[in-house]
Each structure stands twice: as C-alpha cells, then as structure tokens.
Amino acid sequence: MQELTFRVQRYNPGENKEPYLQEFTIPSSQGMTVLDGLIYIKENVDNTLSFRSSCRMGICGSCGMLINNFPMLACHSPVEELKTDRIEVRSLPNFPVIRDLVPSLDPLFAKHKSIKPYIIGPDMKEVEAPTSEYSQSREELEAYVQFAYCVKCGLCMAACPSVATDSLFLGPQPLGQAYRYCADRRDIGAKERFHVADSPHGIWLCHLAGACSEACPKGVDPALAIQLLKRAMVSDSLRLRKKKKPASLAQPPATSKPKIDVPEFTVTQ
Ligand code: FES
C-alpha cells in the first residue's frame, strides 16, 4: 500500500514557544482527502492532534488550513490532486493560532460584523417581522448572488498579502460582503458601509493582488467585489451614483391553500 508523509504543524501555547512540524507516515487510500489523513492520525497515531472540521463536504468552512503552502479546505482537498506524497499542513496564516491547526477566526468575525452584514431596509419592521416577500428580478439577484456564497472560512484573508502586512486591514471577506449587501436592491445601508470601508485600514489598502479570489473554495470573487465597491464609493462621493429603486413587496400570500389535484394511484392492490 502506498504511504503518505504528513508534516503537520504542532503548537500548544502552554508548552511550546514556537510552532514546529511533526512528521507522520500513514497509509493512503483511494479518494482520501487531507482531512481524512488528519483524522487517521488523530484516531490511530496521536489523539492530541487538534484541528477543526464539521460538515466534511466543503460547506461549513471550518477546515481551512495551509496545505502545501496554499490556503485550502482540508475536506475539499483530495490527496491525489496534490500530486505528491509529501503533504505539509499548517494553520491558516494571518490568524492567531489557538492550538496545532486551529486558528482563531475571531478577527475575521469582528471585521465581518463591522460592515453590517445584513439587510438594512427602508422599513426595518418589515425586515425583522416580514409580512410578505420582496419581489426580485433575475438581474437584481445576479447583481449580488455569487458574493452570497461566502462560507466565512477565512481562506481569502489567509491568502491576502495586504492582511499579512496590516492585520487591521478589513480584508477581502468583509469588503466582499459589504459589496454583497450594497448591491442588494432590498438594502439602503450602503452609506453606512462606505463609511466603514473608507477608513485608514479600509478598502484603499487593497492593491488587487487577486490572491483572495484564487483561494476562495466557493468560486466567490472578492477581488471583483472590492473593485465594484470602490467604484460605488467614488461614484457616490462625486454624486454620480445611480439611486436604486427600492424593492417592493410581493403580493401577500394567499390565505387559503390552493387546491392541488392528487393523481390517481398507479398501483392497485
Ligand atoms: Fe466543513 Fe471542511 S469540514 S468545509
């Protein structure tokens, strides 16, 4: 059976001054992912190894790691695609390490919260206790939907060279999400987000390296969102920004359920 060598970052702040790499040799199996390898090590070799995972299918965003020097989701990284039998796994860069491969994502969540990642509607009562749905055309949905696929895994922040040089820089995830809400016709909170983005550690520190978009496992393009947000902010300051027509409420749902004709049984007893 083919073997794999995993070089895994270990760090216990109570015991080690600096992180170090520990080597494990494990059997490979067909379809194995990097996460499977780490689970094998934890279950069979060293149960003190710490890492984070949950869904195992690239949805929850909790298994972000630096795999052979590139930020990736461990559950979404088949070993076969790495084209090597030596796999180095480290904690995500640009985040403090809690232990081994577990980064603290608190800075990401704090920055994300600061851009008000929710609909700020003209009628907040309606937003908080909806009586109906807002109607939205396909074009209006397409203006923001790809940015709404963000799973907050932090890979874009780990890849960003500007976050690496300024840990206070808002970064691609929060700025991308700021644009996602500004582009939504149900939202009227753009000015509040422009104010947050237009700060000394804000949007103007992005120099369009594009590493964020390359790293995103969900196909979101935060670099594009940041450029669109910059354009919206400049247009707004020059009073050239087109006003969005506020979204209108769809017809309230029918009070009685529509009658559905049930087909005859096709199998008789
Ligand atoms: Fe959920 Fe990897 S475990 S994205």
Q: Does 215 sit in the ligand 1 pocket, CB within 6 Å?
A: no
Q: Does 53 sit in the ligand 1 pocket, CB within 6 Å?
A: yes
What is the average pLDDT across 5-20? 95
Structure tokens at 216: 């995103």
Name the pTM for this structure. 0.90
Span 75-110, pLDDT tens digits: 999 999 999 999 999 999 999 999 999 999 999 999
Which of 55, 65, 77, 105 maximizes ligand 1 atoms within 8 Å of its Cβ, making it the mutation to test the pocket? 55
Distance CA 230, CA 235 (A): 9
- CA-based torsion, 138, 143, 146, 152: positive or negative: negative
Residue 257 has pLDDT above 80, yes or no: no
Comparing 69-73, 178-182, 250-254, the range with the smallest average pLDDT is 250-254
What is the average pLDDT across 56-74? 97
Residue 255 has pLDDT above 70, yes or no: no
**pLDDT value for 92:** 98
- C-alpha 225 chain-centroid distance: 13
| Domains, the chain | 3-103 (3.10.20.30), 106-237 (1.10.1060.10)
Q: Does 75 sit in the ligand 1 pocket, CB within 6 Å?
A: yes
Residues 6+ apart with CB under 8 A from 21: 7, 8, 9, 10, 88, 90
| Residue of 152 and 121 predicted with greater confidence | 152
Distance 64 CA to ligand 1 centre (A): 8
Q: Say if strands 20-27 and 97-99 run parallel, antiparallel, or are unpaired.
A: unpaired
User: What residue type is 163 in one-letter code?
Assistant: V
**pLDDT value for 1:** 59
Distance CA 221, CA 177 (A): 11
Cα angle 107, 19, 76; round to 5: 65
Q: Does 218 sit in the ligand 1 pocket, CB within 6 Å?
A: no
Q: Does 58 sit in the ligand 1 pocket, CB within 6 Å?
A: yes
Taking the CA of residue 76 as reference, the ligand 1 atom at the shortest distance is 2
Taking the CA of residue 60 as reference, the ligand 1 atom at the shortest distance is 1
